[in-house]
Structure 1
Amino acid sequence: MEYTVLSVCPLTDGNFQVSLHGLLSDRQRAVSTFTHPPSNEKTPIILNGNLHWMVCDKAYKEANGVKADCSNSIVLCNMNSVNFSTIPHPGDQCGLRKKHNQMELMEMEGRLCFCDASLNRNIVIWILEDYEHRIWVKRHVIMVDPLIKFCGIHHSYGSHVNIGGFYIFNNELLLRVSKSYESHVILYNLQLNTSRRVGQERWNVVAVPHTNSLVYLDADVN
């Protein structure tokens, strides 16, 4: 009956100190050091006794001078032993310009799912069919241009449109499409290829699961 916070702090040698902090007690202990910090922008996906995150490119680059390699882009933490490990993301490797911040993990059909929004032209969704042997299968490809036009966003060359915040809800993909200070939260039907808007704000918004529903939060909190 204890809630535990896992914290990751950089060390001077390029590694990261992982610690556990009890919220209902004064228990605090250092667990281990690890080379690849998990992203703190989203909660981990819990499957097969492991926590799953995308690596935090920013923190890794600040500690090592370069972004993390694609072969270490997904960070795992065993919930029993609190041991960390990494696996590569599916699909093509990023090359010199890493874009792991445009990749997200979610759960679909009780399996780990990888959403790649780094390609600008489309969103590719992979599902981990064989967890033990790390066999990924490409499940969906969603064209980006119709999503942008649906949200009424004018997309010109050189402008940046951010797509992320992926969840599966009632067999629909929930995602966020934003540019500058305008954000749209939409549900995309993966079978019918249709979209419907469920939220729109002038600031960044974040959707989170809430019992059997969803809520979205204004992230521009001062």
Structure 2
Amino acid sequence: MVDLPTDIISQILSRIPMKSLFRFRCVAKLWCCIIDHPFFAYMHLSQCNEEHNMLLLIPYPTYRQKKLSFRLVEERGRNMKANKNSITEFDLNHCVLLSSCNGLVCIQYENKQSYVLLNPLRTDFLELPKATIKADYPEPVIVTCGFGFDASTSAYKVVRVVCRIENLTSRVIVHRVGTSSWREDLTPTIEVHRVDTSSWRENLTSRVEVHRVGTSSWREIGEVPPHPVEGKPVFAHGFLHWLVNPFRRESEGMIVSFHIGTEKFQWTPHPKVDATYTVLFQLVDMKGNLGMVDLSSKTNIDIWVQKDYKNKEWVRQYRIDIRAPCGRSNIEHIQVIGLWENGEILLKFNDGFFIYSPKTGLRYNNGLGLESDSPTGLHSHRGSLISIPKVTAAC
């Protein structure tokens, strides 16, 4: 390949798997320059759609272990095992992974106003300016943060939503077993069955700020979500998506979406499911597509994928029979991690994992072969060559 034109070498390298490319950077200076170029990183990301997702195990810092580390999880035989050696480590305290996009991840550390971007497969690290909207109100606050990419301007943005609960009020509704109705009670006893939070919405105040990666500040926007949002959003097709809690019964939907380019909120329709409790549903990244997990059935888990995003059409792509391996009693504790190799779905259940293959069904994996008391997270990750310093230099 020495005598080939540079553009031909780039085309060939863009079709090579990620793990091999990191080794090829050491072959020659020319190859290293090609692989590290921002344009090549985006070309590889767009052309290698068939490349398998990687699984990243994240042992979070503790009083013993002060570093945030990332480890690859690989399949050995029919079991998953985490590598003992970290692929990279960062000096971050009290941190949590919030959102990911194009192989980059956004992490919150120390408090709800400090954020950092990093690429787990490189040593790239960028501390963002401190957020400006305070999250230390006397009243309770809900803070959620998402990270996405605007393809029209090649800009990465971090979106932060702060929802303040002012003068929180609620109504207590009581039903005495054996009677035919519910009654409002100002002195609740152990008979209380549910709390009506319909009056909360009037006392919620949301503020939104956006940071464009490469700039030196955050800016507050006038746009606010049509319903309070919380939890980790999923980025797909230029939008960040949050699952509303509790579900809206109106026709608009139960998913609030934020367009990274226009910086506008909107409702996104959901699959036609008949359930009320958000705990039985999850949003998940299905390799660039928005997915929704339905845990409301007693016998199976359904995973819907919105492949036609323009027309908002959902397709039920997976139905996983759960009766035999894990029963029904704690189905709400099941977490769908996401896609892995060969279209397999990874599910976490208590201390173990299930791997579902459309061809072979469901199999159990007991742990990851690591003895550690530190809190960990397991994530389905699509790696990339994108260099954060070169992203900021292009702004």
TM-score (norm 2): 0.41
- Distance, in Å, in 1 between the alignment partners of 2:272 and 2:373 is 34
- Distance, in Å, in 1 between the alignment partners of 2:362 and 2:294 is 19
Aligned-partner SS, 1:132: coil
The higher-RCO structure (CA 8 Å, 6+ apart) is: 2
| Counterparts of residues 108-127 of structure 1 (less than 5 Å) | 108=286, 110-127=288-305
The answer to which structure has the higher helix fraction is 2
| Residue from 354, 359, 363 that aligns with 1:186 | 354
2:269–2:312 contact (8 Å) kept in structure 1:
no
From the CA coordinates, give the structure whose radius of gyration is larger. 2
Give how far 1:79 is off.
0.9
Cα pair distance change 1:35/1:89, threshold 3 Å: same
- Distance, in Å, in 2 between the alignment partners of 1:34 and 1:112 is 19
1:104–1:166 contact (8 Å) kept in structure 2:
no
Structure 1 position 172 matched with structure 2 position 344: yes
Cα pair distance change 1:165/1:140, threshold 3 Å: closer
Task: Show structure 1 runs of 5+ residues with no match.
Answer: 58-66, 150-154, 213-222
- Distance, in Å, in 2 between the alignment partners of 1:148 and 1:203 is 26
Which residue does the alignment assign to 2:242? 53
- Distance, in Å, in 1 between the alignment partners of 2:375 and 2:300 is 21
Which residue does the alignment assign to 1:7? 160
Aligned-partner SS, 1:146: helix
1:165–1:207 contact (8 Å) kept in structure 2:
no
Give how far 1:165 is off.
3.3
Give how far 1:16 is off.
1.9
Task: Show structure 2 runs of 5+ residues with no match.
Answer: 1-153, 167-202, 384-395
- Distance, in Å, in 1 between the alignment partners of 2:339 and 2:217 is 36
Given residue 199 of structure 1, which amino acid in structure 2 is its aligned partner? Answer: G
Cα pair distance change 1:25/1:176, threshold 3 Å: same
Cα pair distance change 1:8/1:177, threshold 3 Å: same
The answer to which structure has the higher strand fraction is 1
Which residue does the alignment assign to 2:264? 83
| Residue from 202, 208, 211 that aligns with 1:18 | 208
Given residue 28 of structure 1, which amino acid in structure 2 is its aligned partner? Answer: W
Cα pair distance change 1:129/1:192, threshold 3 Å: same
| Counterparts of residues 35-54 of structure 1 (less than 5 Å) | 35-40=226-231, 42-47=232-237, 49-54=238-243
| Residue from 351, 363, 370 that aligns with 1:195 | 363
Structure 1 position 130 matched with structure 2 position 308: yes
TM-score (norm 1): 0.69
| Percent of aligned positions that are identical | 23
Given residue 68 of structure 1, which amino acid in structure 2 is its aligned partner? Answer: F
What number of residue pairs does the alignment pair up?
A: 187
Given residue 74 of structure 1, which amino acid in structure 2 is its aligned partner? Answer: I
Give how far 1:194 is off.
2.9
